Structure 1
Amino acid sequence: MNDSLKLASTLPSLASLVERDILQELLADKKSPNTRRTYAKSLRDFFQTITGDQTREPTIDLVQEFLSLDRFSAISLVLKYKGMLVNKGLSPATINVRLCAIASLVNYARKIGKCDFSLEDVEGLKVQNYRDTTGIEPESFKTMISLPDTNTLKGKRDYAILRLLWDNALRRNEIRLANVKDFDPDGGKLWIQGKGNSQKEAIDLSPQAIAAIQAWIAARGKVNNSQPLFCTLDRATNGHRMSGNAIYKIVRNTAAAAGIKKIVSPHRIRHSAITAALDATGGDTRKVQKLSRHADLNTLTRYDDNRLRHQKEVTTILADLI
């Protein structure tokens, strides 16, 4: 057998090259595990909705059938799907994420020559971000953070998590994804996977947060640097990485135990910390941006407007004019 025949025998068949799993290729191209999960869920919902079969998985044939549509048929189908999402009462942000996933699939297919149309004419819904930036007062959070029993392993863990949520206004996923090696007590830093970032960034910790994390790690015992910084403690899953829902429950239950009537989530604590930081710095949005890590300074301006209640002030002025 000559070299060309040997090479041919090791290559996949032409048919297998044609039958590419474009959806899986798209997901594999996404660096963030969270993005992969979100896109997979969105695309599954799209194909299940348009086929009317909620048990059907998006097979290679089904994906290729969609990508082989003509431009007008494809746009019409996606617009119909968009309308169905609106009728379900889903939030604009959720609808836009699902439309973005479909557009990414189409754009990827176009790049590799498996699709002839784009979805540029399918517009997302206008989203008003952070309309409600109200949180809880520092005194209320002070009561919350006093409740974990730091004589217990769970109490040490929960106290450290609450410290990070307030002192650094972290998102629960940023806490969830941190590993033991990301904590640098000597440098007073924690490396986190920020929202929308493919690489980790270092944030400075308060002395209280450093001490809290050190106490938790010491009580936890010997761990590998690659293990999650915060783990589950129940008998069935002990040592596993905590879920976002587990962190949410810690916050929700602690707030309820503190007698706080408002539903408190990790993100509401983030709102509270950012608002308190604006109060403490006299509304210095550029300085607080280093804490919140918002890419758009206008987002912090909305926090500041809500904090100062400018709309109420102007409403009162107008009412007094008549």
Structure 2
Amino acid sequence: MNWNSYIKSFQSYLKIERGLSKNTVANYTFDLERLTKFLLENEIAISPEKISEETIQQFIYAVSKEVNARSQARIISGLKSFFSYLIFEDYRTDNPMELIEAPKTGRKLPDTLSLEDIDNLIAAIDLSKPEGERNRAMLETLYGCGLRVSEIITLKISDLFFDEGFIKITGKGNKQRFVPIAKATQKYIELYKNAGRNHLDVVKGFEDTLFLNRRGKQLTRAMVFTIVKELAVKINLQKSISPHTLRHSFATHLLENGADLRSIQMMLGHESITTTEIYVHLDRKHLTQIINKFHPRKT
């Protein structure tokens, strides 16, 4: 078996047995392909079964000159998973990553937008264009429900339970959750469905996909990123933002207005509340107000 065969086998394991998303599997694959490229360029002919800790250390040292600490940590994590899989399948008896430590990255606080920024962003959408209603509904849903970009592009019409006030989201690892949706957001989705989507020639297989491109197919992640970035330029927003910024803003604004972390965790679909706790660090002023309001020795 060569490296490609092992990688394909690993991909199947990640998808079928661990239920990881396409994006996560793609990231793992990219990092393994980076390792195989390094071996090829340095004329190191060795199989995944025989590769040593020293060789991997050489690879990580080479990579450290090209990527930041956060990317290094991701690469090391991915390689550890790969070699753990090889042990699981009895291809190896040891993990050459066992003593290799990832660099300390710290916790990066996400960028957020003010409510005024979000209003300006959405107001900048040209509703006279065919895609205008779609883009407004999409941004309102990203912010109103705190969705990941992968979740917005795969959202189905059959996942909309407006009478109950919820939408069903399929998140990372195909885990499903129900997220509340406000009446205002429902209204923009209905406007898009009636004023824009109904006039498209929908390609077979995408009849149930909510947000479609002009050709009647599912939107790509890249297209959603482009839409958000172009709107940011249009309003001269002095921040580098992405669709994920709307998700961060959703969580931050809920916390600032008194929502509890556990509820935010459930809506975001975070497996661990530790991930959600990052939002506590975003607004020190809010924390001061909490102390002044609720602590028995506030005066």
1:35 aligns with 2:35: no
Counterpart of 2:293 in structure 1 is none
The 3 A distance-change label for structure 1 pair 51 and 169 is same
1:67 aligns with 2:48: yes
**Residue 141 of structure 1, CA deviation:** 0.9
1:4-44 per-residue CA deviation (whole Å, 9 max, x = no partner) reads xxxxxxxxxxxx9x999322111012222222212221111
Counterpart of 1:98 in structure 2 is 75
The two structures have a TM-score, normalised by structure 2, of 0.80
| 3-state SS of 1:30 partner | helix
1:133 aligns with 2:114: no
Residue segments in structure 1 that go unaligned for 5+ positions in a row: 1-15, 57-61, 313-322
Q: Which amino acid aligns with 2:62?
A: M
1:114 aligns with 2:91: yes
| 3-state SS of 1:153 partner | coil
Alignment of 1:1-322 (within 5 A): 21-31=5-15, 32-52=21-41, 65-69=46-50, 74-88=52-66, 90-118=67-95, 119-129=97-107, 131-195=108-172, 197-218=173-194, 219-221=196-198, 223=202, 227-233=208-214, 238-281=215-258, 284-308=260-284
The 3 A distance-change label for structure 1 pair 265 and 25 is same
Counterpart of 2:297 in structure 1 is none
Q: Which amino acid aligns with 2:29?
A: A
Contact 1:252 1:265 (C-alpha < 8 Å) held by counterparts: yes
Aligned mates of 1:86, 1:311 — CA distance in 2: 38
Contact 1:28 1:36 (C-alpha < 8 Å) held by counterparts: no
**Residue 85 of structure 1, CA deviation:** 1.8
| 3-state SS of 1:66 partner | coil
Contact 1:148 1:158 (C-alpha < 8 Å) held by counterparts: yes
Aligned mates of 1:121, 1:139 — CA distance in 2: 49
1:169-193 per-residue CA deviation (whole Å, 9 max, x = no partner) reads 2121221222333333333332223
The two structures have a TM-score, normalised by structure 1, of 0.75
**Residue 128 of structure 1, CA deviation:** 2.2
Q: Superposition RMSD on alpha carbons, in Å? A: 3.0
Q: Which amino acid aligns with 2:186?
A: I
Aligned mates of 1:286, 1:113 — CA distance in 2: 40
Aligned mates of 1:113, 1:301 — CA distance in 2: 39
Q: Which amino acid aligns with 1:37?
A: A
Aligned mates of 1:40, 1:20 — CA distance in 2: 10
Larger radius of gyration: 1
Residue segments in structure 2 that go unaligned for 5+ positions in a row: 16-20, 289-299
| 3-state SS of 2:178 partner | strand
Number of corresponding residues: 276
